[in-house]
Every structure is written in structure tokens, then in C-alpha cells.
Structure 1
């Protein structure tokens, strides 16, 4: 819960009928799906509405601590959260048998030499592609250190997105 709060996420739904807290509903390979649902009050003039929250939580790739990503409140399994978080381009590449590597919230997908490095200009601020050494670097603002990811074959980059923390339905980079 600390990581969700640190990232600005909600850990409870407060309403006329009490407070509902996040609880673990699924676990798989070190990842946990945390979920809550209940009636939320939206002010005195508005009736309570059914609300739900879901977060995928787990250890980060670098072993530097936990991470959390907000997913739709309708998601109640780790597999469902991973499927929702995985971009369609990544799913298509995997179905074709192409090599796919992930570092944080960025996927590197095997491609042709003509498309090598495509998407590097739109990488999230915490990532850097070094085409001369073939390393993808990830240096999040919170100081976590990720191992550089060596990608010796031609790659293109696709960022992962999740719902932003808080009461919104907007999406942003997942890290």
C-alpha cells in the first residue's frame, strides 16, 4: 500500500456505508492484484455510486523496491492486469515469434534494420536509448537503479501505459 500512496493512488473507497480498503485478490509469480469496491460518496448533493479500484503490485526488475500500476477496477486477476497493461503491438510481436524485452514501462520489439531505433524519440523521460552501445537505460526520478538492457538486434520501442493514480481515467506511462 505504501507504494500506491507514494505514487498518489487511493487505498480506500469511502462512502455512506463505510470505508472499503484495498485487499489482495490474486497472486502470481511475485505479483499481486489489489482490489476494492464499494459505494463512493461524491458530495452531499449526489447519490453514492458504485466504484472499484485495482492495482497490480510487485517487485521491480532491478530489485530496488516495489512498483504499482493502476488498472481498471473491473480487473481482478494478475493475468488480466498484465494483459491490459501489455500494448497490442507487443502482443502482435509475441504472436509472430519476435523477440520482446521489457525494461520498466518500455518494451523493445525485434524489428528490421530499416526500423531500428523507431520510437526512441518518444521514450519516457526516465529512459535513454544508446544506439552505439545498444543499451536501453532506465533511471527513474525516485533514484531506483535498473540494470542496462543490452539489445544486440534491431529494435523498436513501445511504452506501456496505465491509468494515472488518483480519480481519473487518463492514461500515462506506467512508471
Structure 2
């Protein structure tokens, strides 16, 4: 019997092609005070194109580049909230020992308004994340779907009824 001329071969393919970071627009950024200025700046950058379609495409690319740079230099929403909470806690601690000066009191009110604004942005952020998650995992038979269905079922479940005398009835 002849021996086989087949030889196992291990092939490893490696590339150094960098993966591009995908740009995800965060909806809460529209609430930022400088949002319109950033968008106008990104849109008004020169494109060097003459074809209408290429001009629009170049403008969107410029806008994406400007928005990515702006997002990178903005501080984290979570860090901002924790910093404002920390300063408010310190002001409340000071207030326990003495009355706040007018400037401190005004600063505290400004911080409370800022905290409410940051919470609004955080709510918008998580609403977008929830929508993305639901779109990705949606009605598939995933744990995510079953957890959401269970929560909805519990919320809609009537465990007892109260009669006009104020008594609760839980059986049929």
C-alpha cells in the first residue's frame, strides 16, 4: 500500500487593516446648547466638489467628522451627573452647619437646574439605547424578548378587585 502524498497545512492569515470606528449619533446631543453651531459649522465646510450628489455626500462626511470630534471632546454624561451630585452634596453639608451665602444659594439653584437637564439628556440616551436593543433583538425568541413580555404581563395582570365597600377580592 502506498503512503499518501497529502500533508496537513496550517494557514494563518493576519492583516493590519484598522477597523474604523462606526459613528453613532446620540440623540441627547441635540439638547446641548452648542449643537446647532456645530452642525452649521460642519455643514458649511467647503467640499471641493461640483456634482450635486458628491457635494451632499461630502457635506455629510464633513458633518460626521466634526460631530465625532465634538463628541470625543465632550465629557461623559455619567461623569457630569456624578460631579454635579457631589457638589450639591457638599453644598447641602455646608448648609447643615451654616446658612449659605447668596452666591452659594444661587450656585446651588443653578446646579439643581443643571442636574435636571443632565437627567433629561440621560433619559433620552437610554431611550435611544432601548430602541436600538429592541430593534436588534426584538421579537426573536431571545431572553430579552421573554423578559420584556414577562414584565408587560405582570404590569397588565389584575390580582384583585376592590368592591364598593372597600373589600378586596382575589378569587374568581
Structure 2 length-normalised TM: 0.24
Structure with bigger strand share is 1
Larger Rg: 2
| Bigger share in helix | 2
